[in-house]
Amino acid sequence: MSTPQVFGDRYRLVRPVGAGGMGRVWQGLDLHLEREVAVKVVKPDLLDGPQRHEAAARFRREARVTAQIQHPGVPAIFDAGLDEASGELYLVMAYLPGLNLRDLLDETGALPGDWTLAVGAQLASVLAAAHAKQVVHRDLKPANIIVGPEGLVHVVDFGIAAVLEPDVSRLTMTGDKPGTLNYMAPEQIRAQPAGPAADLYALGALLYEMATGERLFADRGSAYEVQTAHLKELPDPVRRHRPDLPAELDGLVSRLLSKEPAERGSDAAAIHLRLAALLAAAPASNAPAHDCGDPTWPFRAPLAPARVAALAASQTAVATAPHGRDRIAEADRAFGMGDYNGALSAFRALAKDFESPDPALALHCQMRAAQCLAALGNAASALTGLTRVIERQRRLEGDRARSTLRSRRIAADLLAVLGRGPEAHRELSTVVHEMAAALGPADADTIEAERLLRTWSAPSPMGPAWPVPPPASPGSPPR
C-alpha cells in the first residue's frame, strides 16, 4: 500500500494500529490543531472493479451514520474526504487509547463478574443510542470494542451498519452476510433483514464470552457447523461455567441468544438498566486494569480521573500513599549510587505492586527497570523490555504523552549502545521533532533530547563509534 505520509494536506500518518473490513486504521496527527487522531484509509482493492462505487458509498455512509450518534462510547468524527495525491478515501476520528476487547479476552480469559456486567451495560447504552438514530451495527465483536484508560467502553467501525430508513437502498452485494460468524444472529446467517434484535444477539454472545472465556460455538469444527449451531442449538448455561454469577445474568444471556428476534426484544436501553442494576449489587473484583481502565469505574466513580476512580473502586492507596512514593525514591537513590541490582529488584517489585491501582506508574517503574538492565550491561534485554513498555504507553497514554516520548528517547540511547547508530539517529531525530510539537521547544525534555542529538555525529554507512550516553534521568514519576 503506497500510502502518503500526509493525507488531505493535514493528517500525518504515524503508525498502523488496526485493520477492519474496509480499510486500515492509523494513529495520526492533525497538523492544524496539533492533536492525535485516528485515520481510516479505505483498502485500495475495494476501489477497483465492480465494487468500487459500493465501497465508496459505504465508506461515506460510515462517516455520516457515526457522526449522527451522539454518545461517549462512539468516537467523534472530525473529517472525511478523498486524498487528491493518492486517490484514496479517508475518515478522521478521535484517537482512542486503550485495549480492544479481543486482546483483553485473549490475555485474561473469562472476565471478572463486575467487568462483564460493566462492559455489557456500556455496550447496551451505545446500542440504545445507535438504535435511536435508526442505525444497527451488525458487526458487534470484541475487535470493534475498545476499553479506554478511564474505563469507558467505545464501539468503533459502523462501516456495515444498516440504516433502517425504508428509503435507503441496501449497499451490500447479493448474498453477502455482513458480520462476524461467532456473533452473527440467525437472521443474518439466513441473509434476512437484520434489525436492532441482531445487535442484541451479538451482545448476548459477547456477554457469554466475557463470562465464560469461551467464544460461542467455537468448539465446532467448521464454519458450516458454527452456522448450524447458531440456527438450531442453545449454548450451555452461563452458570454451568460460572456459578458465582447471578442467575438473572444467566437468564438474560439465554434470552438474548434466542433464535427468534421477537423473543430477544429490541430495547437496548432496558438491557442497560438491568445490567447496571446487577453491577450495583455485585462485589468489586479489584481486578488488574492491564492496558485499559476498569470498566466499572464509570459506574462506581462517575467522571473521576482514572487514578481517583481506581482508588474509589479498590479502596487501596498503594500508588499514592507516602510509603509508595518513598519506595520509588529509595529505588532512585540506589540507582544513583550505582546499586543497579538492588534498584532493578526494587523497580520490578514496584511495577508489580502498582499494576492494578496505577498502570501508568507501573509502566514508569518498568521503564526504570530497563535502565537498570542497561546499566548492568544488558542493553539488548533492556531494549526488549522498554519496547514492550512503549507499546503499552502508546495504548494507555497516547503517542504524544510525556512518558511515552521519554521512553522513546531512552530507547534511542539503547540503540546507540547496541551499535545500531543509523537507527538510533533516526529515532532520536523523530523524538526531538515530536517533543517540540507536543511539549514545546522550551520544555526541559525537548532541550535535553536536542542536546543529546547534537552530541551524536551523523551516522556513516560503516556504523561509526557513537558516544555511549550515561543512563538518562527519567524525570519524576507520573502524578
The 10s digit of each residue's pLDDT in 25-39 is 899 999 999 899 999
Grid cell listed for 90? 479517508
DSSP-based three-state secondary structure for 135: strand
147 and 267: one domain?
A: yes
Q: What is the CATH number of the domain that holds 49?
A: 3.30.200.20
Cell of 405: 516520548
Phi–psi pair at 98, nearest 5 degrees: 135, -160
pLDDT at 117: 97
Alpha-carbon span 392 to 404, nearest angstrom:
9
Q: Give yes or no: residues 159 and 223 share one domain.
A: yes
Residues 106 and 63 in one domain: no
Which residue shows C-alpha cell 487509547? 97
- Write the CATH number for 361: 1.25.40.10
> Are 156 and 102 in contact, with CB atoms under 8 Å apart?
no
Q: What are phi and psi for residue 439, nearest 5 degrees?
A: -105, -20
The predicted-structure confidence for 402-411, as pLDDT tens digits, reads as follows: 999 999 999 9
Based on the domain organization, do 132 and 257 belong to the same domain? Answer: yes
DSSP assignment of 77-134 equals: EEEEEE-TTT--EEEEEE---SEEHHHHHHHHSSPPHHHHHHHHHHHHHHHHHHHHTT
C-alpha span between 413 and 407 (Å, rounded): 10
CA distance 367 to 304: 27
Last residue of a domain, one of 260, 295, 330: 295
Confidence at residue 475, expressed as pLDDT on a 0 to 100 scale: 55
Rounded to whole angstroms, the Cα distance separating 308 from 310 reads 5
Averaged over 324-329, what is the pLDDT?
A: 80
Residues 148 and 262 in one domain: yes
Share of the chain above pLDDT 90, in %: 48
Q: Per this entry, what is the length of the chain?
A: 479
DSSP code of 370?
Answer: H
> What separation in angstroms does the CA of 159 have from each of 56, 60, 123, 135, 167?
11, 9, 17, 11, 19
Q: What is the mean pLDDT of residues 225-252?
A: 93
Q: Please report how many Cα atoms fall inside a 13 Å half-sphere around the Cα of residue 27, on the Cβ side.
A: 16
- Give me the DSSP letters along 236-268: PPHHHH-TTS-HHHHHHHHHHT-SSHHHH-S-H
- Whether 186 shows a pLDDT value over 90: the answer reads yes
Write the DSSP assignment of 468-479 as a string of letters. Answer: -PPPPP--SPP-
Q: What is the DSSP string of 401-470?
A: SHHHHHHHHHHHHHHHHTT-HHHHHHHHHHHHHHHHHHH-TTSHHHHHHHHHHHHSPPP-TT-PPPP-PP
Out of 295, 313, 330, a domain closes at 295
In a domain, residue 478? The reply is no
Check pLDDT > 90 for residue 89: no
Amino acid residing at 446: T
* 367-391: average pLDDT: 91
Cell of 471: 543512563
89 and 118: one domain? no
Q: Between residues 399 and 366, which one has the greater pLDDT? A: 366
Residues 256 and 284 in one domain: yes
Element (H, E) at 40: strand 35-42
Q: Which residue segment(s) compose the domain that 229 sits in?
A: 99-295
Closest CA to 151 of 118, 117, 105: 118
pTM here is 0.74
463 part of a folded domain: no
CA-wise closest residue to 180 among 139, 233, 137, 232: 139
Q: Is residue 339 part of a domain?
A: yes
Tens-digit pLDDT profile for residues 94-136: 999 889 999 999 999 999 999 999 999 999 999 999 999 988 9
Range of lowest pLDDT (241-245, 306-310, 341-345, 442-446): 306-310
CA distances from 207 to 113, 148, 275, 359 (A): 10, 19, 11, 26
How many Å apart are CA 268 and CA 273, to the nearest integer? 9
- Among 13, 53, 57, residue whose Cα is nearest residue 36: 13
The answer as to whether 307 is a domain residue is no
The 8-class DSSP code of residue 76 comes to P
Higher pLDDT pick, 56 / 370 = 370
Cell numbers of 445, please?
A: 525534555
Residue 313 counted as domain residue: no
Is 70 exceeded by the pLDDT of residue 292? yes
Average pLDDT over residues 242-260: 95
Q: Are strands 153-155 and 145-147 parallel, antiparallel or unpaired?
A: antiparallel
Q: Please report whether residue 346 resides in a domain.
A: yes
Q: What is the pLDDT of residue 175?
A: 41
| Residue 388 CB-half CA count within 13 A | 11
Predicted confidence at residue 201, as pLDDT, reads: 97
Same domain membership, residue 66 and residue 122: no
Confidence of residue 187 (pLDDT cuts 50, 70, 90): very high
Number of domains in the chain: 3
Q: Please tell me whether residues 58 and 109 are part of one structural domain.
A: no
Instruction: Tell me whether residue 464 is in a domain.
Output: no
Residue 21 near residue 157 (C-beta atoms within 8 A):
yes
444 and 354 share a domain?
A: yes
Alpha-carbon distance of 380 to 119, in angstroms, equals 39
Looking at residues 433-458, what average pLDDT do you find? 86
* CATH code of the domain covering residue 273: 1.10.510.10
263 and 277 co-located in one domain? yes
Q: How many CB atoms lie within 10 A of CB 59?
A: 24
Is residue 185 domain-shared with residue 87, that is, in the same domain?
A: no
Mean pLDDT of the chain: 84
Position 351 in a domain: yes
Residue 404 has what pLDDT?
Answer: 92
- Among candidate residues 247, 279, 295, the one where a domain is terminated: 295
| Residues identified as active-site | 139
